[in-house]
Amino acid sequence: MRIVQALGWYYPESLGGTEVYVAGLARDLRAAGHQVLIAAPDPAYATQRVYEHDGVPVLRYPIPTAPTRAECQGRTPVRGADRLHEWLVAIKPDVVHIHTLLTGLGLPELWAAKAVGARTVVTTHSSSLGYLCQRGTMMRWGEALCDGVCQPAKCAACELQHRGLPKPLASLIGVTPKALAEVAAEIPGKLGTALSMHSVIAHNQEKQRGVFAIADYFVVLTKWAMDTLVANGAPPEKLALNRLGLSHGNGAMKPAPSIRPTTSPVKIGYLGRFDPIKGVFDLAQALLALPRNLRFEMEFRGPATRTEDQRVRDKLRRLLSGDGRVTFAPPVEPHIVPDVLKTYDVLCCPSVCLEGGPTVAIEAHAYGTPVIGSRIGGLAELIEDKVNGRLVPPGDWRALSKVLLELVNDPQNTIDRWRTALPPARTMAEITADYLTLYAA
């Protein structure tokens, strides 16, 4: 089969979990005898680029760095995305697999794939689960896990609060009648955005229904996501669950606690993007609340290729400056990640958004390192609290600090006990086999 994997970002500019996932999937599909091509929008360049990464041809089609409101909301086609449509006509793929829907990779691109006779699969890696959550985190008011049921007034208010409005005002504007909200969409600036938010959510619901009409399968990474989509009216026969796993082969675990028990100072690691939705500021607050005489080592490590990531990293450094227990290390290539994870006694994943993984938590388990995570998304389905790690409410830095204090003071009855009960990790070979079944169906 000729299979196109399409996603929002790709190497070499971006090194996130979805990119690693797609690269691993492409590698295994090629090993199974299939031809793989990769496509991704590219707002950084004004011209189309074609290159190879890891032996796979990559198309980067240009889209605007500042798309219009209508383009962002999917009300008009995104300029430049027609390059992808033309490319699909030229290569005639058997399967087009889209990983997360976003600006420049949405309904028009699904239609373009269907128009050339390709089978279509969409995997949602983001917390929005397609077009379901405008806020993009599945956190109601940014404070607690949402029930996931999309309602225009409710979701408009939550998004407006996310954009800086007080809850009462956000709730008042959120109930703007749809007809009036549609008219307000023509008003430029922040006022038009606010008054039209009810219409935006209603339009998102239409787009979500459109995806299910076009896509042959819609793949989710957690059972919670599948149940939530069904609750929002998604056709169960088009849903598939394909949990995350290792992007690289299983390596050797570090020695068991019976051979090499955890010793003081305990080394805690954070390995991921410098993004507020990853809970990095909650982790910083938890560390600041720990006694100054408590012995431990904390390492932050991750890519900071985007300007915003660099700002977050620098702010974290300022918050934690003067604490010799905390260090910031350079990012690492994906194939080195296992070696880094083995150096940590525990990995901290304090996400404040619904993630399918994160993959790094699965990798940590595979190499013998337990995880402290938020009780949300894939983490809540991966970690059994107090058995193979700890779960804390998302955004609750006080609870996180209490857990850190407990494990630093008593690693034998926490970390080492968890190390004996870590779950086995899925492999990319298993993930690929599941996708091949869907492609053939």
Tell me the per-residue pLDDT of 223-236, one tens digit each, with 9 for 90 and over: 999 999 999 999 99
**Residues 395 and 303 occupy one common structural domain:** yes
Average pLDDT, the chain: 94
**Residues 312 and 191 occupy one common structural domain:** no
Nearest to 367 by CA among 311, 440, 405, 424: 424
What is the mean pLDDT of the segment spanning 82-108? Answer: 96
206 is a domain residue? no
pLDDT at 44: 85
**Residues 338 and 307 occupy one common structural domain:** yes
pLDDT at 249: 59
**Residues 85 and 228 occupy one common structural domain:** yes
256 is a domain residue? no
pLDDT at 250: 64
| 189 phi-psi bin (left φ>0, alpha ψ -120 to 50, beta other) | left
The DSSP line for 282-300 is HHHHHHHTS-TT--EEEEE
**Residues 227 and 275 occupy one common structural domain:** no
Nearest to 294 by CA among 325, 327, 317: 325
Residue 220, token pair as written in the block: 């989710």
Residue 108, token pair as written in the block: 């028009």
Q: Any bridge partners for residue 374, and if so which?
A: 392
pLDDT at 332: 86
Domain termination residue (choose one: 136, 165, 195): 195
Domain count, the chain: 3
177 is a domain residue? yes
What is the mean pLDDT of the segment spanning 155-171? Answer: 96
Nearest to 28 by CA among 436, 337, 441, 439: 436
**Residues 6 and 102 occupy one common structural domain:** yes
CATH number, domain of 224, equals 3.40.50.2000
On the 0-12 / 13-18 / 19+ scale of CB atoms within 10 A, 168 is exposed
On the 0-12 / 13-18 / 19+ scale of CB atoms within 10 A, 75 is middle
297 is a domain residue? yes
Residue 45, token pair as written in the block: 């360049």
**Residues 62 and 166 occupy one common structural domain:** no
75 is a domain residue? yes
303 is a domain residue? yes
Q: Which domain holds residue 25?
A: 2-123+215-243+428-440
Report the alpha-carbon distance of residue 391 to residue 383 in Å, rounded.
7
pLDDT digits (tens, 9 = 90+) for 328-383: 999 888 788 999 999 999 999 999 999 998 999 999 999 999 999 999 999 999 99
**Residues 315 and 345 occupy one common structural domain:** yes
Report the alpha-carbon distance of residue 392 to residue 385 in Å, rounded.
9
105 is a domain residue? yes
pLDDT digits (tens, 9 = 90+) for 18-66: 998 999 999 999 999 999 999 999 998 889 999 999 999 999 999 999 9
Map residue 373 onto helix, strand or coil.
strand
**Residues 227 and 78 occupy one common structural domain:** yes
**Residues 358 and 314 occupy one common structural domain:** yes
**Residues 21 and 118 occupy one common structural domain:** yes
| Reduced DSSP (H G I as helix, E B as strand, rest coil) percent helix, strand, coil of the chain, to 5 | 40, 20, 40
Report the 10 Å Cβ neighbour count for 151: 14
248 is a domain residue? no
**Residues 363 and 315 occupy one common structural domain:** yes
